[in-house]
């Protein structure tokens, strides 16, 4: 069932689905009576964003952005490679991420988005690895806290592979 490069499954498809439903309910409650714009960070967050969006009971709009890293020598230094299609001024915005690790990428994105004057700006992440945090970021909604191991699946990649796995798994050390 699992790939050879996988050491163990952390969260099964069923566990992920159940947790996403819970978080979607929390979000729907918090934004009751409002319209929410979900902003997904490509490519990793797309799987989470679509699963989450299907369970929201409030009116939802979706936009996407892509970032690219400047290189290995400059961790956390990213730029927007594909920008949003529309403005977010005056809107309730929720940034949707696959994982918040050091927090560097997230902080950059939150600053860039907040400069566009949304009505509110929140953060929702599928995975949170707080043990590796270098910069404090306020995570408003998260599905799972994870240990200090590299994970793949449900959008997360290793060299662009394994995004399509339905589960989330720890990679073997030697890969």
- Catalytic sites, residue numbers: 101
Q: For residues 147 and 152, what is the distance between their CA atoms, to the nearest angstrom?
A: 13
- Binding window for ligand IMP (CB under 6 A); candidates: 1-9, 11-19, 95-103, 118-126: 95-103
CB of 95 to ligand IMP, least distance (A): 11
Q: How far is the CB of 28 from ligand IMP (least distance, A)?
A: 25
| Alpha helix segments (H runs only) across the chain | 13-30, 46-54, 104-114
Cβ neighbors of 119 (< 8 A, separation 6 or more) are 90, 91, 92, 93
Q: Binding partner of residue 151 among Mg ion, ligand IMP, none, CB under 5 to 8 Å per kind?
A: ligand IMP
Q: Counting contacts by CB under 6 A, is residue 106 touching ligand IMP?
A: yes
Task: Tell me which of 65, 100, 139, 165 binds ligand IMP, using CB under 6 A.
Answer: 100
The pattern of x and - marking residues 149 through 168 that bind Mg ion according to CB under 5 A reads --------x-----------
The DSSP call for residue 149 is S
Mapped onto helix, strand or coil, the DSSP state of residue 63 is strand
* Contact flag: residue 13 with ligand IMP (CB under 6 A): no
Q: Are strands 92-100 and 60-69 parallel, antiparallel or unpaired?
A: unpaired
- In angstroms, rounded to a whole number, what is the distance separating the alpha carbons of residues 83 and 65? 5
Q: Assess 155 for contact with ligand IMP (CB under 6 A).
A: no
Q: Which residues bind ligand IMP (CB under 6 A)?
A: 44, 76, 98-106, 150-152, 156-157
């Amino acid at each position: 069932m699992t790939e050879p490069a996988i050491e163990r499954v952390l969260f099964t498809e069923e566990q992920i689905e159940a947790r996403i439903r819970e978080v979607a309910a929390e979000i729907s409650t918090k934004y009751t009576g409002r319209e929410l714009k979900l902003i997904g960070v490509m490519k990793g967050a797309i799987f989470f964003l679509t699963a989450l969006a299907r369970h929201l009971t409030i009116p939802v709009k979706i936009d996407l952005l892509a970032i690219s890293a400047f290189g290995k020598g400059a961790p956390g230094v990213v730029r927007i490679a594909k920008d949003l299609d529309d403005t977010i001024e005056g809107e309730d915005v929720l940034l949707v991420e696959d994982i918040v690790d050091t927090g560097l990428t997230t902080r950059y994105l939150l600053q860039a988005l907040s400069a566009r004057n949304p009505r509110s700006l929140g953060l929702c992440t599928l995975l949170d690895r707080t043990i590796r945090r270098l910069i404090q970021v306020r995570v408003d909604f998260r599905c799972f806290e994870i240990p200090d191991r590299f994970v793949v699946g449900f959008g997360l990649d290793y060299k662009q592979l394994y995004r399509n796995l339905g589960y989330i798994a720890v990679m073997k050390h030697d890969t």
